[in-house]
Amino acid sequence: MTSTTDETTATNRQMETFITPNNTIHADTICAISTAPGTGGIAVVRISGPQATEIADSIWHGSTPLATVRANTATFGRVADPDRPGETLDEAVATVFRAPRSFTGEDTVEISVHGSPFIQREMINLLIRRGCRLAEPGEFTRRAFASGKIDLAQAEAIADVIASDSRGAHRIALSQMRGQFSEKLAEMRSQLLDLASLLELELDFSEEDVEFADRSRLLEIARSLKSHVDTLAATFSTGDAIKRGVPVAIIGSPNVGKSSILNKLLGDNRALVSDIPGTTRDTVEDTADIEGITFRFIDTAGIRATDDPVENLGIERSFANIAKARILVWVVTATDLAGNDTTTLSHLHELRDEISRLKSPDTALILAVNKTDLLPTRDHPATLRAAERLGADTAIPLSTVTGENLPLLRHTLHAAATQGISSSANDIIVTNARHYEALRNASSSIDRVIASLTPGHPYPLPGDLIAQDVRETLHHLGTITGTITTPEILSTIFSRFCIGK
Ligand code: GDP
């Protein structure tokens, strides 16, 4: 943590309701099952707090009491209710962690028992009778934060690591949990503190009417900070998509092969494939892992003029999906594209206009030119030229029958999803809406600092007034790591955790 007395005092002056939560000591001892609910090979019971060892010892029978075993080493024993000493509940393995060298920073005991729901329930009942309190969701992590073991961004990343279901989401969450984002923020906060101090120095010399700080140098620092903040904020849209699964809409006229392409990408045959135009009426959403990124596919009803009300409903949804998607795969057939049928071609151009109107400027448009197996040649320059006229970012001639270019389609999807972020593990990617909001707020505050420092500002502001905006920027960045936070923010964040984490 990088809070300084100076900074904290200034912030407290501005925002009295904010608290600095480090090094809180909890009087009570909490317990919970940390493994997933239900039956399992093993269940881990976690106990944390000042009486953790004492309470665990009251139900533990081993060669030595847990109070005297070596920390961080597993020890075998028996668990029994002190009121029924002869009756063993289970044979178990316990690990003792002593404060402050534990996850929570408190004395902690983890007991691995057999994962029967009965044993788990009995263990918790027993521990509660011996003086523990059942932990609230995320309370172990909240205590780790309160004792200064991790900051808030790292605590949130722990939840993301647990929830990650693709290599991409896991990599980002792990880097945040290990503190890379926090380090970057700490670096920026330290620069901001320097900036604030330099500006405030002017105050001390104000009687002499001296502009002490070199304002062009200060402006340079402010601009560089703004660029760092904005670069981080700009990664959010990609980061968020990677965390939740990148939404992809597969669109196009009926019967062009949308379901077939989706099935190939999913690797099974879940969506209905049929020769009857308009069969795929409903929006089918499914996920696939492609090169470590989760994609959410939205297979849509074929877009064509129809009187069928059910089909029309599907078509309306297709258009709505265009706006929701981050990547559009527009499927046309190679024969339609290569042919000279003016009605077909004019329909394709109408569709293109509709897509351009509905899609957001950031949405990638991939034109999948399907059914190349029906063309007399595998050489596709004419097809690609025709595709280019339809204005897609990328055109891929492919066939779900021969499998031509399906790997290229997968690769193109991956590239479109990760555009703008590097594959380097050191790159920081923002995935949390709360962090994004704080970065945006920080960006606006630093904008005001830049405006005030820029030569030609209508009325030169005194350093201490500019320093206020610098302090506000510090405040916003501080909310990310939790240097500055409120009990409400903490409750909202930790209530989303599972019990036992
Ligand atoms: P959708 O209505 O756009 O979802 O199209 P479908 O995926 O249901 O496919 C319509 C028809 O085209 C089916 O008979 C598929 O077997 C056929 N089809 C799909 N892909 C190809 C392809 O690459 N080549 C050929 N020849 N037929 C295909």
Judge whether 309 and 274 are in contact, CB under 8 Å.
no
- The per-residue pLDDT for 165 is 83
- The per-residue pLDDT for 209 is 55
CA 290–ligand 1 middle distance (angstroms): 22
d(CA 184, CA 187): 5
d(CA 452, CA 460): 7
Q: Which of 258, 259, 260, 378 to mutate to test the pocket of ligand 1 (most atoms within 8 A of CB)?
A: 260
Q: DSSP code of 62? A: E
Under the banding of pLDDT at 50, 70 and 90, the label for residue 314 is low
Q: Is the pLDDT of residue 65 over 60?
A: yes
Q: Is the pLDDT of residue 293 over 70?
A: yes
- The per-residue pLDDT for 24 is 58
- The per-residue pLDDT for 483 is 87
Angle at the Cα of 233 (from 231 to 236), degrees rounded to 5?
Answer: 115
Cα–Cα distances in Å, from 447 out to 66, 223, 484?
A: 57, 8, 21
- The per-residue pLDDT for 278 is 45
Ligand 1 atom with minimal separation from the 274 CA: 8
Contacts of 460 (CB under 8 A, 6+ apart): none
- The per-residue pLDDT for 22 is 47
Average pLDDT over residues 329-335: 92
CA 257–ligand 1 middle distance (angstroms): 4
Q: Is the pLDDT of residue 14 over 80?
A: no
Tens of pLDDT along 179-234?
989 999 999 999 999 888 888 776 655 555 555 557 788 899 999 999 999 999 99
Return the minimum-mean-pLDDT range out of 42-51, 301-310, 312-321. Answer: 301-310
- 31 versus 496: the higher-pLDDT residue is 31
CA 260–ligand 1 middle distance (angstroms): 6
Under the banding of pLDDT at 50, 70 and 90, the label for residue 8 is very low
Residue located nearest, by CA, to atom 27 of ligand 1: 371
Ligand 1 atom with minimal separation from the 278 CA: 2
- The per-residue pLDDT for 313 is 52
3-class secondary-structure state, position 363: coil
CA 426–ligand 1 middle distance (angstroms): 43
394-397 vs 364-370, strand pairing mode: parallel
CA 273–ligand 1 middle distance (angstroms): 7
Q: Which of 250, 255, 286, 311 to mutate to test the pocket of ligand 1 (most atoms within 8 A of CB)?
A: 255
Q: Is the pLDDT of residue 488 over 90?
A: no
Cα–Cα distances in Å, from 113 out to 42, 65, 187, 201?
A: 6, 18, 44, 61
Q: Is the pLDDT of residue 299 over 70?
A: no
Q: Is the pLDDT of residue 261 over 90?
A: yes
| Concatenated DSSP letters of 304-348 | -----HHHHHHHHHHHHHHHH-SEEEEEEEHHHHHS--HHHHHHH
Average pLDDT over residues 98-122: 97
Under the banding of pLDDT at 50, 70 and 90, the label for residue 312 is low
- The per-residue pLDDT for 342 is 84
- The per-residue pLDDT for 20 is 39
Q: DSSP code of 206? A: G
Residue 494 structure tokens? 């930790």
Show the ligand 1 pocket: residues with CB < 6 angstroms: 254-260, 273-275, 280, 302, 370-371, 373-374, 399-401
What pTM does this model have?
0.76
Q: Count the Cβ atoms, other than its own, within 10 Å of residue 84.
A: 9
Q: Is the pLDDT of residue 238 over 80?
A: yes
For the chain, give the mean pLDDT. Answer: 84
Q: Give burial (CB, 10 Å; 0-12/13-18/19+) of 73.
A: exposed
Tens of pLDDT along 366-406?
999 999 999 888 778 878 888 888 877 789 999 999 999 99
